[in-house]
Structure 1
Amino acid sequence: MRPMPDSLKVPLAPTPATVATAATASAKAGHKGLIWLVAAAFFMQALDSTIVNTAVPGIASALAVTPLSMRSALTTYVLTLAIFIPASPWLCDRFGTRRVFGAAIGVFALGSLLCGLAQSLPQLVAARVVQGLGGAALMPVGRYVLVRTIERKDFVSSMTTVATFGLIGSVLGPLLGGVLVQYTSWRAIFLINVPVSLLGMYLNRRQMPDYRLTESRRFDTLGFVLFAGASAMLLLASEKAGGVGEWGKVAMWSAVAVLLGFLYVLHSRRTEFPVTDLKLLKVRSVAVALAGNLFTRLGVSGMFLLLVLFLQLGCGWSPSVVGLMMVPQALGAIAVKWVVNRLLLRLGYRRLLLGNTVAVSLMLASFTLVGPQTPLPVIALQVFAYGAFMSLQYSSMNTLAYVDLDVSHASMASSMASTAQYLSMSFGIALASLLMEAFLAGHEPAQYVHAFRCSILILAAMTLAASWIFSRLRKDRPVNARTTDETTSV
C-alpha cells in the first residue's frame, strides 16, 4: 500500500495538557525577553546615574569649576527623574507602554548626546535635564510592565534579576567613568549611551507589550505643577544651604516647598485621578516602603561620591584605580542577589529590613577607619561587604511596595516608588556634598580625609534612624504565599 500524501494527513488534535505546556513555554520565552529589555534599561539608567561620579574631578577641571560644585550636574538629573516619573502612569494609559518606553529611550539618547557636546557647567546641567526627561519613564514603566506580565510567585525573582543589572550599572559606572576620563575624554562617558539606546529602541518594538486604558483620562496638570514645584524648591534650598549669607533664601525656598506640598495634599484629596495617589499610603506596607526608601537612600546615596573624592583628592589615587575599587561592590551584590527571595521567605520583610538597615549603617561607619595608608585589599573587602548588604536592602525595599496591592494599583505604586527613590537620591547627594563642604577647611589631602570621615559618620547615623521605620511593619507573613483575594484594597 502506498503511503498517504502529507497534504492529506490530518494532524492529531493536541491535548489540553499539550496546549497548556506550549502556552506556558511561549509565555516564559516572551517574559524572558521582556525581563532582559527592562534589565538593560535599568542598567543604562543606573550606569548614567553614577558614571559621572568618578569623572567629577576631571570634568570640573575641564569646565574650570570646583569638584563639589559639580553636584548640580548629579542632583539635577535625579531630581528631573523624580519630578517627571509621576507622569508616566498617565502617559502609559494614554499612549501605551511600548510607545512611551521607546520614546523615553530616544529622549535619553538625545540628552546623552547633548551632554557629550556641552561646553560649560550650565550647558551640562541643561543637557542632564533632557536626559532625566527620557530616563523618567524607563524605571516606572519597566516595573509596571513586569507587575502586569509576570505572575506574582515569580515577581520577586524577576525584580531581583532586573535590580541586579541596575546595581551592576551603578557600580560599573564609576569604573567606566574613571577609565574613560583618564584615557580618552570625559565626553565619552555620555556618548556611549547613544548606540546602546538605539539597540534598546529596536528591542522595545519586539519585546515590549502594549498596555493602555481603552478610555483616556485627563492629566492632573495642577497636581503635577504643585508636586514638581515642591520638589524643585526643596532641592534648590539644599543646594544653597552651604552658601555664605544664603540662609534667608534657603528659609524662603523651604517655606515655598512646604506650602506647595500642603496644597498638593489638599488637591489630591479632591481629584479623581491625582498624579500621585496618596490614598495608597493607607496601606502600611506601601507607606513603610516609601518612607524607608526615602530615609535609607538619604543616608547612602552620596556615599560613593564622597568615597571617590576621598580616594582621588585625599589619597591621590588615579580615576581608573578609584573606579576599579567600586567593582567589589558589584561582586558583593551579585553574591547575595540570588538568595534574596529565600531570605524573604524565611525571615519576612520586617525582620530582614530591620536587621539589614542596622548592618548597612554599621558598614557605612566602618569607612571612617579608612585612610591613605589603608591597604587596598582591606578597602576592597569593605566595599564588597557594603555592596552585599546594600543589595539586600534595595531588593527588599523595591518589592515591599507591591506585596499588598492588587495589580490595578501597580502603575501608581511603581511611579510612587520610583519618585521616592530618586527624590531621596537627589537630596542624599546634595546632603553628602554639603556635609563634605562644611567639614572641608582647605584643599589639602589630609583635609579631605577629615571631611570624609566626619560626613560618613553623620550619614551612618541617618541610615540607622531609618531602621525605626521598618520596625513599623506588621508581624511578618510568608512572602508570595497570598492570593489575589487577600490583597489589601484601597
Structure 2
Amino acid sequence: MDTAATKRYLPWVVATALFMEQLDSTIVNTGIPAMAASLQVSPLSLKAVVTSYILSLAVCIPVSGWLAERYGTRRIFMFAVGLFTVSSVLCGLAVDSTMLIAARVPQGIAAAMMMPVGRIAIVRTFPKGELLRAMNFVIIPALLGPLLGPTVGGLIVHWLSWRDIFFVNVPVGMVAMWFAHRHMPDYRSAAPQPLDVRGFLLFGSGAALLSWLLEVFGEHSLGLGAGGALLATSLLLLAGYAWHARQVPFPLLRLTLLKVRTFRVSVLGGFVTRLGIGGMPFLLPLLYQLGLGLPAWQSGLLMMPAAAAAMGMKVISAPLLRRYGYRRVLVVNTVLIACTIGGYALVGPGTPIAGIVGLGLAMGLFNSLQFSSMNSMAYADIEEKDTAMASTFASTLQQMSMSFGLACGSLVAAWYLAGLPQTDPAAVMNALHHAFLTLAGVTLVSSLSFWALRPDDGDSVSRGTLPVGA
C-alpha cells in the first residue's frame, strides 16, 4: 500500500461519504412542510421521516466495527455506499409517508456502516500527531451536510419536487464509490472476535425503545403509567447490557474504555452537548417557515452563513487548541453555543436579516470548533489496538445523542404548542422561542462536564509534530 497516497486521498474518501450521509440526515427538514401538504399529514408527524433514519443509524452502528474487522474496511464501506444510494432512490419513489419512512431505515443502516468504518480507517492511517489535521479536513464536509441540507432542500422544493431531494444522493454516491474503490485501505483483523449477539439485542432494543418513546411523547397523548412502563423497560434493557458487557470477554461496546478520561469526557460530555445542538436542524426551518412565513428557499438560504463559518473555523481551530488546550476551548465554546441557541429566542417578525445571519455565522463557527475538538480528543489516549472499538463506541453515542436531540427538540416544541393552532404564526413563534431556551439550558449544563479535563489533556493530538492547519 502506498502510504503517502493513502494519506493524501483517504480523507477525501471519508469526507465524500460523510457529506452524503450528513446531507441526507437534514435535507428533508426544509421539505417537511411541502411533504406534509403533499401526503396530507401534519408537519410534526413527519419528524418520523428524520427520526427513523437517525434511529436505525444509531442502533446499527455498534456492529459496524465488527463487520469491518471481519470483512475489511474497503468491502464494508463500498457496500454501505451502494446500499445508501439505492435506498435514496426508493425514498424518492415513495407514494406515502409509510413507504418513505420504511425506505429511510436501510438508509440509516447503510450510514451506520459508512461513518464509523471511515473513522476507523482515518484513525488507523494517521498517527496522533497528524490526526487533528485529518479530522479537521473530514469534519468540514460532515458539517456542511447538515448546514447545506436545508438550503439544498429548500431550493429543490421551490423549483422542483420534494421527491428530488433524495435523488441528489445518486451522483454523490457514485463519486464516493469511485473514491472508495481506488483509495480506501482494506484494514481487517487476522482473528476477528465473535459477534456479541446478545449484547446487540439488549443495547439495540433499549436504545430504539427509548428513542421511540421520545417520539411518541411528542406526537400522541400517552398515559403516565404506560409511558413510565416503557421508560423503565428501555432503561432496564440498557442496564442489562451494561451488566452483560462486564460478563463476556468480547462485548459489543467495551465499557472499560470509559476509564480513559479524555475518551470518557469526549463521548459523555459530547452526548449531552449534542442533545441541544441536535434539535436545531428541525426547529430552525419551522421558525423560518411557520413562524416568519418565509418560503422554503429563503429558509434554506438562511442556513448558508453557518456553512461558510464552519469552513472558516478549519483554519483557526488547530491554533486555538494548541494555544489554549482542549479543556479551556471546550468549556468556553460550549457556553458560547448555548448563548447562540438562546439567541434564536429573540428572532421575530421585526428581526433584521443581518441579525439572523449573525446568529447563523456564530452557530457554524462554534459548532465546527466543538465537533472538531470532541472528535479528535476522543483518541488522544487510546491505544492503537483499541481504535476500532473506540471509533464504534464514540460513533454510537454521537448518533444516539443527535437522535435524542432531534426527538427532544420536537418534543419540547410540541409541548409548548399543545392546545395552540399550528397555523397561527404568533403561537408557533412563541412555542419555538421556549424550545430554543430549553435547548440552550441543556447545552449550558453540558459545559460542566469538560471541567473534568486536565489542562494538558489532548496535547498528543493538538501539539503534534506536523503543522495541523496545513
Asked if 1 retains the 8 angstrom alpha-carbon contact of 2:272 and 2:443, the reply is yes
Measured after TM superposition, the shift of residue 76 of structure 1 is: 1.2
Amino acid at match of 2:90: L
- 2:434 partner SS: helix
Q: SS of the counterpart of 1:339?
A: helix
Find the aligned partners of 2:457 and 2:155 in 1 and give their Cα distance: 46
Letter in 1 for 2:281: F
The code of the aligned residue for 1:95 comes to Y
Aligned to 2:449: 469
- Note if contact 1:110-1:130 (Cα within 8 Å) is conserved in structure 2: no
The CA RMSD over aligned residues, in Å, is 1.6
- Listed as ranges, the gaps of 5+ residues in structure 1 are 1-22, 485-490
Residues 325 and 462, structure 2, Cα contact 8 Å, conserved in 1? no
Instruction: Supply the distance in 2 between the matched residues of 1:274 and 1:286 (Cα, whole angstroms).
Output: 18
**2:262, 2:457 within 8 Å by CA — same for their partners in 1?**
no
Cα distance between partner residues in 2 of 1:452 and 1:216? 49
Asked whether the equivalents of residues 62 and 393 of structure 2 are also in contact (C-alpha less than 8 Å), the reply is yes
Q: Which runs of 5+ in 2 are unaligned?
A: 465-470
What's the counterpart of residue 439 of structure 2? 459
Which amino acid in 1 is paired with 2:394? A
Match in the other structure for 2:207: 231
Which of 34, 43, 67 is the equivalent residue of 1:67? 43
Judged with a 3 Å threshold, the aligned counterparts in structure 2 of structure 1 residues 146 and 315 are, in CA distance, closer, same or farther, namely same
Q: Find 1:353's aligned residue among 326, 330, 342.
A: 330
For 1:299 and 1:245, locate their aligned partners in 2 and report how far apart those are by CA, in whole Å: 24
Normalised TM-score (structure 1): 0.91
Q: Distance in 1 between matches of 2:48 and 2:457?
A: 43
Match of 2:425 in 1: 445
CA distance in structure 2 between the aligned counterparts of 1:78 and 1:481, rounded to whole angstroms: 30
Match of 2:365 among 388, 397, 402: 388
AA aligned to 2:48 is S
Describe the shift of the 1:366–1:212 C-alpha distance in structure 2 as closer, same or farther (beyond 3 A): same
Amino acid at match of 1:90: W
Q: TM-score, normalised by structure 2?
A: 0.95
Per the TM alignment, residue 32 of structure 1 is displaced from its structure 2 partner at its CA by 1.4
Q: Residue in 1 aligned with 2:467?
A: none
Amino acid across the alignment from 2:307? A
Q: Determine whether 1:422 maps to 2:383.
A: no
Match of 2:6 in 1: 30
For 1:299-314, what aligned pairs fall within 5 Å after superposition?
A: 299-314=276-291
> Could you tell which deviates more after superposition, 209-218 or 454-463?
209-218
> Which structure 2 residues correspond to residues 130-141 of structure 1 after superposition, within 5 A?
130-141=106-117
For the residues of structure 1 that align with 2:316 and 2:462, how far apart are their CA atoms?
20
Which residue matches 2:157?
181
Of 236, 247, 251, the match for 1:259: 236
Q: Is 1:397 aligned to residue 377 of structure 2?
A: no
Which of the numbers 71, 83, 92 marks the counterpart of 2:68? 92
Runs of at least 4 residues off by over 4 Å: 481-484
* In the alignment, structure 1 residue 363 sits paired with structure 2 residue 340: yes
User: How far 1:418 sits from its partner (Å)?
Assistant: 1.0
Alignment of 1:171-210 (within 5 A): 171-210=147-186
**Does the Cα contact within 8 Å between 1:281 and 1:287 map onto a contact in 2?**
yes
Q: Distance in 1 between matches of 2:362 and 2:245?
A: 42
Aligned sequence identity (%): 43
Contact 1:351 1:476 in 2 (8 A): no
Please name the residue that 1:407 is paired with: 384
Q: Which amino acid aligns with 1:333?
A: A
- Whole-Å Cα distance in 1 between the matches of residues 93 and 225 of structure 2? 36
